[in-house]
Chains A and B, each alone.
Chain A
């Protein structure tokens, strides 16, 4: 049972075998394999693929959950692009968050990974300390950040006051509220850092030895060796962070509810309100919003993937 089900059907040499050509034992093994993965396959079909297709169909309907859906064609999409004043606002807010948080997380996580990849004492402790916040439930994290960002007694303003900065109303000023959430996004830097760390540890030491022998400085080794060889990891981290940042919701829902003055109204919050807060529920409209987000994410991901051959270097 060491071979995968795929290699079994294709035969050990990769040649495709017909079902009727399989021996009874191989057939039995194949059936066992299928049976064992069937809960996952059924789950995927029922809870991912079906809702995925259903939401697409629903996006062309008016659906209040209680009454059957009514087909309205492209009306939801027309309303979103022509009559929804909060669509563009929430999209721009989200874009601001995506750009800011991805940049902050990538730079910070890479810097921390570089530090932790050196021979510092208590390496395991530092790694754990930076990773632990990523494991804390979002509600608890949000409550902590409400205190950190408090204008009067918050840790952040206290720290800034040491640098001569006056009080900033992080959560009640439209000019600063989204920036407060960007600062908060550093909470989850640990996950990205761990992936960077794994990437850094995969770089063969011989490259650095050769660079040192050639007289390369630390900065030159970073630019000429580390960065090029870590680009596959950067690529992965950028993708993961873009996708998660576009779906930012929990902290906004808990901490600001989209305020002040819609400054933190993100796309997912806007979608959530239409689906679950408003009456009548607007499931069709929310589905259309979800599909627009899917297309935006798809385009962004495609751009990153398609341009990756220009800046991602695989060490093979």
Chain B
């Protein structure tokens, strides 16, 4: 008896030590192919994504999706490990800043042939958004949200009006005037900030000053020039002379956070350069006390293009180096079916899929089917690209989505946002972008803390990034 018991215990211990976690799949879906799909849309976007995927499964009989949410911060270790192990996902959400390295190492597959086959063309998307998905003349991913417009100038109309400004500044000089009027404090400590220009990356300001930071062939860094000096001097002088220095302005923003705690929502600053996601946050958490209201009862905030610098021009405003979309890794088990999913999440405009959805008391989607068990569901048309973003009140980079015209989710500012997005330029991303960004951040710090002159810091940073690029091209070129 003892021996049998020991044997059972032993077998159990061995099995446990070698067991692997099972992956969750939609039990209702019956199909020959199951796609592994990675995304990073957490929080209240999870049920929206689940509904979009459930609709995909209905629209594409025979294809099931293993829908896996992963944290954004660990995306690179996860993806690299999966590719190295020969078990990549079929489709994954993907950061644009990571694209050049993966494309240069042939780790993802170009989508041009698929696009040509299904009639997906560049002019279907906001130009800057689509341009950021290309590398070496090929298209490697397709965009989903309006990541491109990360340099939207969100502003508090009431605070600007109280300070005597009727409109959003067009140039850096006008922005300085707004800053001088609205950044206030005493004894070296800020009480209010007009705008914190140091929070927006150097490359974005440089782009608004009419200068590319790197050559088109991605081999030569071009920041140590007149436009670069103007840009760095602008950030330094604004921060030191208007915002009481980098230590104090950084300390000031420790009081704020994300979502309902952004400085603009709290009224701590008047202008914030941010993305299209800011709209939903402002509408959800902004208050009449901070923003005032217009005749229609709308909160008094606006959105405008980024001001341009002395070497820039009105046609070239902010730009973006970030943004994200969906791609197919090389060696994905089911690339053809994976393309159907990429297309669904990025290019699908109309949908004829009806699903039973469940909503909470506040009207927020909580899942597909009767999730809370109260016997009540709502029948809705559910789709992919347009629908997914409309549920979040975000404009789509897909021109066919027509802003917010679908599903009754219209917004008075959709046209404004898309109008700014059209002005956005593509900031070219290098294959060594994460490390280059760190060097550029350090360069800014060296100038803002007064350790180096603008010229010296630019020269050093340019040399350091150039060395990185030279090494990269020597190894991968």
Contact pick for B105, options A67, A174, A273, CB 8 Å: A67
Q: Is A185 an interface residue (CB 8 A)?
A: no
Q: Is A311 an interface residue (CB 8 A)?
A: no
Q: Is B251 an interface residue (CB 8 A)?
A: yes
Q: Is B463 an interface residue (CB 8 A)?
A: no
Q: Is A261 an interface residue (CB 8 A)?
A: yes
- The number of chain A residues with a CB under 8 A from chain B is 34
Q: Is B248 an interface residue (CB 8 A)?
A: yes
* 26 A/B residue pairs, CB under 8 Å, sorted by A: A32-B10, A35-B14, A36-B10, A39-B13, A43-B17, A65-B81, A65-B84, A66-B80, A66-B105, A67-B105, A146-B254, A152-B189, A152-B252, A171-B250, A172-B254, A173-B251, A174-B449, A260-B247, A260-B445, A261-B449, A273-B435, A277-B435, A278-B434, A278-B438, A280-B105, A280-B476
Q: Tell me the bound Cα distance from A36 to B255 in angstroms.
A: 54
Known: A65-B80, A66-B80. A277 touches B434 (CB 8 A): yes
Q: What number of A-B contacts does a CB cutoff of 8 Å give?
A: 95
Q: Is the CB of B434 within 8 A of A39?
A: no
Q: Is B98 an interface residue (CB 8 A)?
A: yes
Q: Is B432 an interface residue (CB 8 A)?
A: yes
Q: Is B431 an interface residue (CB 8 A)?
A: yes
Q: Is A167 an interface residue (CB 8 A)?
A: yes
Q: Is the CB of B250 within 8 A of A260?
A: yes
- The number of chain B residues with a CB under 8 A from chain A is 40
| Chain A interface (Cβ < 8 Å from any Cβ of B) | 32, 35-36, 38-39, 42-43, 62, 64-67, 146, 150-153, 167, 169, 171-174, 259-262, 273, 276-281
Known: A66-B107, A67-B105. A171 touches B432 (CB 8 A): no
* Other contacts beyond A64-B105, A169-B250, A261-B446: 13, CB < 8 A: A32-B6, A36-B9, A36-B13, A39-B14, A152-B189, A152-B255, A169-B247, A259-B445, A260-B246, A262-B445, A276-B76, A280-B101, A280-B431
Contact pick for A261, options B77, B255, B445, B476, CB 8 Å: B445
Q: Tell me the bound Cα distance from A174 to B449 in angstroms.
A: 9
| Chain A nearest Cβ from B365, distance in angstroms | 28
Known: A66-B84, A262-B442. A173 touches B76 (CB 8 A): no
Q: Is the CB of B432 within 8 A of A172?
A: no
Q: Is the CB of B6 within 8 A of A169?
A: no
| Chain B nearest Cβ from A28, distance in angstroms | 8
Q: Is the CB of A171 within 8 A of B254?
A: yes
Q: Is the CB of A276 within 8 A of B77?
A: yes
| Chain A nearest Cβ from B221, distance in angstroms | 16
Interface centre among A66, A152, A277 (most CB of B within 10 A): A66
Interface centre among B9, B13, B251 (most CB of A within 10 A): B251
Q: Tell me the bound Cα distance from A36 to B9 in angstroms.
A: 9
Q: Tell me the bound Cα distance from A277 to B73 in angstroms.
A: 9
Known: A279-B431, A280-B101. A62 touches B475 (CB 8 A): yes
Q: Is B433 an interface residue (CB 8 A)?
A: yes
Given the complex, which residues of B lie within 8 Å of A281, measured CB to CB?
76, 80
Q: Is the CB of A35 within 8 A of B10?
A: yes
Smallest CB-CB separation from A278: which chain B residue?
A: B435
Smallest CB-CB separation from B253: which chain A residue?
A: A172
Q: Is the CB of B435 within 8 A of A279?
A: yes
Given the complex, which residues of A lie within 8 Å of B247, measured CB to CB?
169, 172-173, 260
Q: Is the CB of B254 within 8 A of A151?
A: yes
Q: Is B472 an interface residue (CB 8 A)?
A: yes
Smallest CB-CB separation from B254: which chain A residue?
A: A150
Smallest CB-CB separation from A176: which chain B residue?
A: B247
Q: Tell me the bound Cα distance from A260 to B107 in angstroms.
A: 36
Q: Is B181 an interface residue (CB 8 A)?
A: no
Smallest CB-CB separation from A63: which chain B residue?
A: B84
Q: Is B83 an interface residue (CB 8 A)?
A: yes
| Chain B nearest Cβ from A181, distance in angstroms | 15
Given the complex, which residues of B lie within 8 Å of A167, measured CB to CB?
189
Q: Is the CB of A172 within 8 A of B250?
A: yes
- One digit per residue, 1 when the CB lies within 8 angstroms of any chain A CB and 0 when it does not, for chain B 13-38 equals 11011000000000000000000000
Contact pick for B17, options A42, A65, A146, CB 8 Å: A42
Q: Tell me the bound Cα distance from A261 to B452 in angstroms.
A: 12
Given the complex, which residues of A lie within 8 Å of B250, measured CB to CB?
169, 171-172, 260
Given the complex, which residues of A lie within 8 Å of B246, measured CB to CB?
172, 260
Given the complex, which residues of B lie within 8 Å of A151, measured CB to CB?
251, 254
Q: Is the CB of A172 within 8 A of B445?
A: no
Question: Top 6 nearest A-B pairs by Cβ distance?
Answer: A39-B17, A172-B250, A279-B101, A172-B251, A169-B251, A65-B80
- One digit per residue, 1 when the CB lies within 8 angstroms of any chain A CB and 0 when it does not, for chain B 357-371 equals 000000000000000
Q: Tell me the bound Cα distance from A35 to B11 in angstroms.
A: 9
Q: Tell me the bound Cα distance from A64 to B475 in angstroms.
A: 11
Given the complex, which residues of A lie within 8 Å of B451, measured CB to CB?
261
Q: Is the CB of A150 within 8 A of B434?
A: no
Q: Tell me the bound Cα distance from A230 to B468 in angstroms.
A: 53
Smallest CB-CB separation from A28: which chain B residue?
A: B3
